[in-house]
Amino acid sequence: MTGLESRRQEAKKIWRELQESPRPVVYVGAGSCGLAAGAAEVIGAVEGYLKKTGQKADILRVGCIGPCYLEPLVDVQMPGRPRISYSNMTPGLVKGVLESFFEKGEVYKGRLVGHFGANGAMEFPRFFDHPMLASQTRIVLRNCGIIDPENIDHYLARDGYTGFERCLSLPWNEVLEEVKKSGLRGRGGAGFPTWRKWLVGRETENDKKFLICNADEGDPGAFMNRSLIEGDPHALLEGMLIAAYTLGAAEGYVYIRAEYPLAIARLRHALKSMREAGLLGEKILGSDFGFDIRIKEGAGAFVCGEETALIASVEGKRGMPRTRPPFPAVSGLWGRPTVINNVETLATLPHIIRNGSEWYSQFGTETSKGTKTFSLVGKVRRTGLIEVPLGMTLRQVIYDIGGGLVKDFKAVQTGGPSGGCLSEEFLDVPIDYENLAAAGSIMGSGGLIVLDKNTCIVDTAKYFLNFTQAESCGKCVPCRVGTRHLVGILERISRGRGEVADLKRLEELGRTIKGGSLCGLGQTAPNPVLTALKFFRSEFLAHIKDRRCPAAVCRDLVTYRIVKEKCTGCQRCVQVCPTGAITGPRSEPHNLDMTKCIKCRSCYEVCRFDAIAGDAIVIES
Amino acid sequence: MNSETFDDLKKLFKGEPADLIPVLQKIQAEEGYLAPESVRSVSRWLRMSENEIYGVATFFAQFRFTRPGEHVLKVCLGTACHVRGGEQILDVLKRRLEVDPGGVTADGRFQLERVACLGCCALAPVLSVDDKIYGQSSVLKIQEMLDGGLHHDRT
């Protein structure tokens, strides 16, 4: 058997040389989120500086390391010094950082996040001691932001593909047993034991079997899979090799959203490197195992996250679900046994096989083993991608890792459009599949959206129902027509035209939709409304009985007012008002004509952030 | 669709009905939309009725059937962007560009789209102009971008 050992030794050398590089190295977080925050401009500034001064340094584009709110992150590694990380870089700031290192030989002190060296190597904290990172357990994300995702040697140097190599020396049932003992459950949201799905696929007789990676991350507010693929594509691909080996699948697909162009590019690059390294095709690494992977770009349909709909779309049809059984593991793509696993599930496998099931199952709770990645977003101070052991409480995640909220906590939304809003009393619930389901929500793929008191629950429920209504494929009447009516009722309530009986209608209709739909989309679509009604009923009643929106969000129920005592008459709001509703001479309190006001919020924001007085315009209900 | 692009496609795919979606994606990437003539050519090639092709194409949000604008503006209305004010950003753009989501401005320069999620939720609210994503946007920043003619440089 021709193993990867010599290649790995070579890779380890390359990796070591990078750590001890005699040339300075500049690492830039250039995932989609980093780029959105301006990483490309920062890279341009670094290149410009090097060119102008004639200094020599290597620039490395790494993936997202997690704390997106600190992006763009730039790390500087000088010879003999550990990598030191700086946050929220701009072209101007990064020049200052480089000048300090290159010209004065000093560590730049502003925007310092931490270093990547050994404990106590510098007089300031380590990067991973940052409050957002300290209580995380990074298994799946261990390479993200650390390695160059386009360099397979970096992955190999950090024990990449050793899990798969170990696999090749074992019979399939022992690999399955290892995964079974690890307790790994599907990370797509439903939490079905991974091994059980595989066993069905393995035991179904057929001369051809398929493995599909579901990277159609459709939940609005979730980006775990995108980050992982952008930052460490080989972790997913190694996981696919392991799953395919266990299943006896000869062909694999990555079904990925077309909205993720960078992730797709990274995957294509990684597949090419795999092929060159002999990790794809026939007789992989000299064994009898052959496997190939193709990329299928999803064309934008949330329902395609459902297994049978996904298969229909790979077959070139409308992405509509069908009745099960037969389950895809028995009869899936082209009628052949097909196992569909989520990105995170697959990317966890290399670690389980490499370190053993016992090691993996030490993390997590009795029924939910291991770690889970979450996208922690919304009204929380520290937003980003995190990975924590299952069983951590929502409070720990939101307050210890997320740093809490600026305003008062109202709810946390888990599970995307299939999940629900959980109120404060659930903050101490340990996060696992069972607990979240018992609370009326679901684990989902990992979106955690924190809502504060300025978020309206009726509006949030309406938002999700609008989404599922638009994404309903239309096959089942309860889902197609029912979600439409749910939206209609919620719309009425948010306009202050609801009646108390509407609440009962929402609940009854919700239950009917859940019971009468074929696939997960319809079966879970009413969850956001039902949980909202359960935990925040008074807010619905305020909209109905008092015709007011306590969070001052629902447009038809709010008015804008200028606080005359505060207004300095700086005219900033007059300039931004699109309808001329605000008038008044300079230096005198302005007037607001509510008959012309379209409640676009421009004046509110300009007064808040950009006016002399600040907060002289209030939105009330 | 000109015959040259079509010949290129024939090299890339086997020409089975299963290739339909990737074929349509390639055509749209090339021409910006699915023109009736393109659908007709695909229909002959893959031996599927135009009806069937439209049935599949209209199911997916990605495909469009009218000529796109020069620049595509996508306003993200994922959950994080929604709670952080994405809707208001869309409103400003609708009003200032005088176009509804899915439409193209009268001068053909801008096409406005609403999307469910661009996956940059931690930087919400987010919008993209062509391939460039702008994070931590606001009604004000949008107004400034529009005043500056929506060119691509970041200030």
Confidence grade of residue A379 (pLDDT, cut at 50, 70, 90): very high
State mean pLDDT over A526-534. Answer: 95
Query: Which residue in this structure is represented by tokens 């027509």?
Result: A481
Q: Which of B37, B59, B81 is the last residue of a domain?
A: B59
Q: Residue B38 — very low, low, confident or very high, per pLDDT cuts 50/70/90?
A: very high
Instruction: List pLDDT tens digits, range A416-432.
Output: 999 999 999 999 999 99
pLDDT > 70: what percent of chain A? 100
The whole-number pLDDT of residue B93 equals 92
Q: How far is CA A603 from CA A586, A599, B92, B97, B143, in A?
A: 16, 9, 12, 19, 12
Q: Structural domain tally of chain B? A: 2
Instruction: Say yes or no for a CB contact (<8 Å) between B140 and A300.
Output: no
User: Where residue B133 sits, what CATH number does that domain have?
Assistant: 3.40.30.10
B139 and B80 in one domain? yes
Q: Are residues B45 and B108 in the same domain?
A: no
Query: Which of A148-152, A538-542, A572-576, B99-103 is predicted with the least confidence, judged by mean pLDDT?
Result: A572-576
In chain B, the percentage of residues whose pLDDT exceeds 90 is: 53
- Mutation for testing the A interface, residue in B27, B33, B59 having most A CBs under 10 Å: B59
HSE toward the beta carbon, residue A71, CA cutoff 13 A: 35
Question: Do B52 and B79 lie in a common domain?
Answer: no
Mean pLDDT throughout A148-171?
96
Residues 6+ apart with CB under 8 A from A63: A29, A30, A31, A144, A145, A149, A227, A230, A231, A232
| pLDDT score at A252 | 97
Tell me if A586 sits within 8 A of A571, measured CB to CB.
Answer: yes
Residue B153 inside a domain? The answer is: no
- Position B152 confidence tier, pLDDT thresholds 50, 70, 90: very low
Length of chain B counted residue by residue: 155
What distance in Å separates the CA atoms of residue B142 and residue B147, rounded to the nearest whole number?
8
Last residue of a domain, one of B16, B38, B59: B59
Backbone angles phi, psi at A60, to 5 degrees: -120, 125
Greater pLDDT, A393 or B150: A393
**Lowest-confidence region among A260-269, A385-394, A406-415, A439-448:** A439-448
- Name which of A229, A159, A165 is nearest A15 in CA terms: A159
| pLDDT score of B153 more than 50 | no
Residue B66 lies in a domain: no
Verify that B127 and B86 share a domain, yes or no.
Answer: yes
Q: Which residues of B touch A318 (CB under 8 A)?
A: 55-56, 59
**Could you tell me if residue B112 is inside a domain?**
yes
CA dihedral A265, A267, A268, A274 (to 10 degrees): 150
B118 and B91 share one domain: yes
**Which of chain B's residues have a Cβ under 8 Å away from the Cβ of A38?**
154
Taking the Cβ of residue B130 and every Cβ of chain A, the question of whether any pair is shorter than 8 Å is answered with no
Domain co-membership, B76 together with B55: no
**What pLDDT, on the 0 to 100 scale, is given for residue B1?**
61
User: Is there a single domain that holds both residue B143 and residue B79?
Assistant: yes
For chain A, domains (ranges, CATH) are 17-133 (3.40.30.10), 152-360 (3.40.50.11540), 371-452 (3.10.20.600), 457-545 (1.20.1440.230), 558-620 (3.30.70.20)
- Output the domain CATH number for residue B15: 1.10.10
- Flag whether residue B68 sits within 8 Å of chain A, measured between CB atoms: no
B86 and B134 belong to one structural domain: yes
Token pair of A38, please?
Answer: 């301006």
Residue B84 within any structural domain of the chain = yes
Task: Enumerate the residues of chain A whose CB falls inside 8 A of the CB of residue B122.
Answer: 33, 68-69, 71, 223, 375-377, 383-385
CA distance A321 to B17: 19
Residue A314: pLDDT band with limits 50, 70, 90: very high
Can you tell me the mean pLDDT for A133-158?
96
Q: Give per-residue pLDDT as tens, A2-26.
A: 579 899 999 999 999 999 999 999 9
Which residues face A451 on adjacent strands? Answer: A411
Do A39 and A26 contact (CB within 8 A), yes or no?
no
Let me know whether B39 and B93 are in one domain: no
Residues 79 through 108 of chain B touching chain A, CB cutoff 8 Å: 79-85, 88, 91-92, 95-96
pLDDT of residue B154: 41
- Which carries the bigger pLDDT value, residue B80 or residue A178? A178
Q: Are residues B51 and B89 in the same domain?
A: no
Whether residue A436 is predicted with pLDDT greater than 80 in this model: the reply is yes
CB contact, 8 Å: B115 with chain A? yes
- Average pLDDT rounded to a whole number, residues A254-269: 94
The pairing of beta strand A591-592 with beta strand A582-583: antiparallel
B133 shares contact with chain A (CB less than 8 Å): yes
Q: Give the strands of the sheet with A447-452, arranged side by side.
A: A384-389, A371-378, A447-452, A409-414, A420-422
Which residues lie across from A295 on neighbouring strands? Answer: A254
Give the dihedral sign, CA A325/A330/A140/A363. positive
Question: Is the complex ipTM higher than 0.90?
Answer: no
Lowest mean pLDDT among A119-133, A476-490, A577-591: A577-591
Query: What does the pLDDT read at residue A558?
Result: 94
| The pLDDT value given to residue A2 | 58
- H/E segment holding residue A398: none
Chain A contact probe: residue of B58, B98, B121 with most A CBs at under 10 A = B121
pLDDT band at residue A251 under the 50/70/90 scheme: very high
| The predicted structure's pLDDT at residue A577 | 85
**Residue recorded with tokens 């379209």:** A598
Does residue B154 belong to the interface with chain A, where contact is any CB pair within 8 Å?
Answer: yes
Q: What's the predicted TM-score (pTM) here?
A: 0.93
Tell me the residue range of the domain where B26 lies: 3-59
CA distance to A23, A147, B132, per residue, from A44 (Å): 19, 21, 15
Give residue A616's pLDDT.
Answer: 87
Q: What is the pairing mode between strands A409-414 and A447-452?
A: antiparallel
Does pLDDT of A578 surpass 90?
no
Whether A79 contacts A22, CB under 8 Å: yes
Q: Is A221 left (phi over 0), alpha (psi -120 to 50) or beta?
A: left
Label residue A118 by pLDDT band (50, 70, 90): very high
Q: Is A75 helix (H, G, I), strand (E, B) or coil?
A: strand
Please, what is the average pLDDT of chain B? 88
Helix A172-182 to helix A343-355 angle (10° resolution) is 100
Match 């004010």 to its residue by tokens.
Answer: B85
Question: φ and ψ at B112, to 5 degrees?
Answer: -105, 130
In chain A, % of residues over pLDDT 90: 86
Flag whether B47 is in a domain: yes
Please state, as a whole number, how many other Cβ atoms lie within 10 Å of the Cβ of residue A19. 13
In a domain, B109, yes or no: yes
* Residue of A74, A80, A101 lying closest to A20 (CA atoms): A80
Size of interface A-B (CB pairs under 8 A): 167
Q: Which residues pair with A341 in a beta bridge?
A: A213
Location of structure tokens 């695909």:
B42
Closest CA to A267 of A355, A152, A401, A345: A152
Pairwise CA distance, residues A597 & B134, whole Å: 28
* Residue B151 in this model has a pLDDT that exceeds 60: no
Q: Do B81 and B138 sit in the same domain of this protein?
A: yes
Beta strand B127-129 pairing with B132-134: antiparallel
Mean model confidence pLDDT for chain A: 94
- Asked if B81 and B142 sit in the same domain, the reply is yes
Position B154 in a domain:
no
Q: pLDDT for A60-86, tens place per residue?
A: 999 999 999 999 999 999 999 999 999
Q: Structure tokens of A277?
A: 């390294």
Q: Which residues contact A29 (CB under 8 A, 6 or more apart)?
A: A39, A62, A63, A64, A65, A71, A72, A73, A74, A145
Q: A432 near A443, Cβ under 8 Å? A: yes
Per-residue tokens: A436: 């979240």
pLDDT, position B155 = 37
Question: Helix or strand or coil: residue A294?
Answer: strand
| Predicted pLDDT of residue B2 | 65
